[in-house]
Structure 1
Amino acid sequence: MPELPEVNALVELLDRELTGAVVAGVELASFSVLKTYAPPVSALQGLEVTGVTRHGKFIDIDVSGIHVVVHLAKAGWLRWSDRLPETRLKLGASAIAARVRLDRGDGPSVGFDVTEAGTRKGLAMYVVNDPSEVPGIAALGPDPLAEGFELRPLLDRRMQVKRLLRDQKIIAGVGNAYSDEILHAARLSPFAIAESLKDDEVDRLEAAVQDVLREAVEEARGKPAEDLKDDKRTRMRVHGRAGEACPVCGDTVLEVTYAQSSLQYCPTCQTGGKPLKDRTTSKFLK
Structure 2
Amino acid sequence: MPELPEVEALSSFLAARVVGREIARVQVVAISALKTYDPPVAALEGRAVGAVGRRGKFLDFEVGGVHLVVHLARAGWVRWRDSLPVEPAKPSSRNPLAVRVGLDGGDGFDLTEAGTKKGLAVYVVRDPVEVPGVARLGPEPLDLGVEEFAGLLRGERRRLKGVLRDQTVLAGVGNAYSDEVLHVARMSPYKLASSLTEEETARLYEALGDTLRDAVERSRGLAAGELKAEKKVGMRVHGRTGLPCPVCGDTVREVSFADSSLQYCPTCQTGGKPLADRRMSRLLK
Q: TM-score range by the shorter chain?
A: over 0.9
Q: Equivalent residue for 2:114?
A: 117
Can you list the C-alpha shifts for 1:124-178, whole angstroms capped at 9, x where unaligned?
0000000000000000000012264731111021000000000001100000000
| SS at structure 1 position matched to 2:142 | coil
Q: Equivalent residue for 1:126?
A: 123
Q: How far apart, in 2, do the equivalents of 1:148 and 1:250 lie? A: 33
| SS at structure 2 position matched to 1:136 | helix
**Distance 1:147-1:254 versus aligned 2 partners, 3 A rule:** closer
1:101 aligns with 2:102: yes
TM-superposed CA distance for 1:52, in Å, is 0.4
More helix by percentage: 2
Q: Equivalent residue for 1:283?
A: none
Q: Equivalent residue for 1:260?
A: 259
Q: Equivalent residue for 1:215?
A: 214
Q: Equivalent residue for 2:275?
A: 276
TM-superposed CA distance for 1:199, in Å, is 1.5
Q: Which amino acid aligns with 2:90?
A: K
TM-superposed CA distance for 1:81, in Å, is 1.1
For structure 1, the 5+ residue unaligned runs are: 281-286
Q: Equivalent residue for 1:42?
A: 42
Q: How far apart, in 2, do the equivalents of 1:148 and 1:205 lie? A: 12
TM-superposed CA distance for 1:279, in Å, is 6.7
TM-superposed CA distance for 1:92, in Å, is 3.0
* Maintained 8 Å contact 1:29/1:89: yes
| SS at structure 1 position matched to 2:169 | coil
| SS at structure 2 position matched to 1:127 | strand
**Distance 1:163-1:127 versus aligned 2 partners, 3 A rule:** same
Q: How far apart, in 2, do the equivalents of 1:4 and 1:68 lie? A: 18
* Maintained 8 Å contact 1:59/1:69: yes
Question: TM-score, length-normalised on structure 2?
Answer: 0.95
Q: How far apart, in 1, do the equivalents of 2:69 and 2:172 lie? A: 15
Q: Equivalent residue for 2:234?
A: 235
Q: Equivalent residue for 2:141?
A: 144
| SS at structure 1 position matched to 2:139 | coil
Q: How far apart, in 1, do the equivalents of 2:31 and 2:70 lie? A: 15
| SS at structure 2 position matched to 1:101 | strand
Q: Equivalent residue for 2:86?
A: 86
Q: How far apart, in 2, do the equivalents of 1:199 and 1:148 lie? A: 14
| SS at structure 2 position matched to 1:137 | helix
Q: Equivalent residue for 1:75?
A: 75
Q: Which amino acid aligns with 1:6?
A: E
Question: TM-score, length-normalised on structure 1?
Answer: 0.94
Q: Equivalent residue for 2:189?
A: 190
Q: How does 1:158-177 map to 2 (within 5 A)?
A: 158-177=157-176
| SS at structure 2 position matched to 1:62 | strand
Q: How many pairs are equivalent?
A: 276
Q: How does 1:1-16 map to 2 (within 5 A)?
A: 1-16=1-16
Q: How far apart, in 2, do the equivalents of 1:20 and 1:202 lie? A: 43
Q: Which amino acid aligns with 1:151?
A: F
* Maintained 8 Å contact 1:100/1:111: yes
Which stretch has the larger CA shift, 270-279 or 230-239? Answer: 270-279
For structure 2, the 5+ residue unaligned runs are: 280-285
Q: How far apart, in 1, do the equivalents of 2:5 and 2:118 lie? A: 23
Aligned CA RMSD, in angstroms, stands at: 1.3
TM-superposed CA distance for 1:90, in Å, is 1.1
Q: Equivalent residue for 1:248?
A: 247
| SS at structure 2 position matched to 1:32 | helix
* Maintained 8 Å contact 1:161/1:194: yes
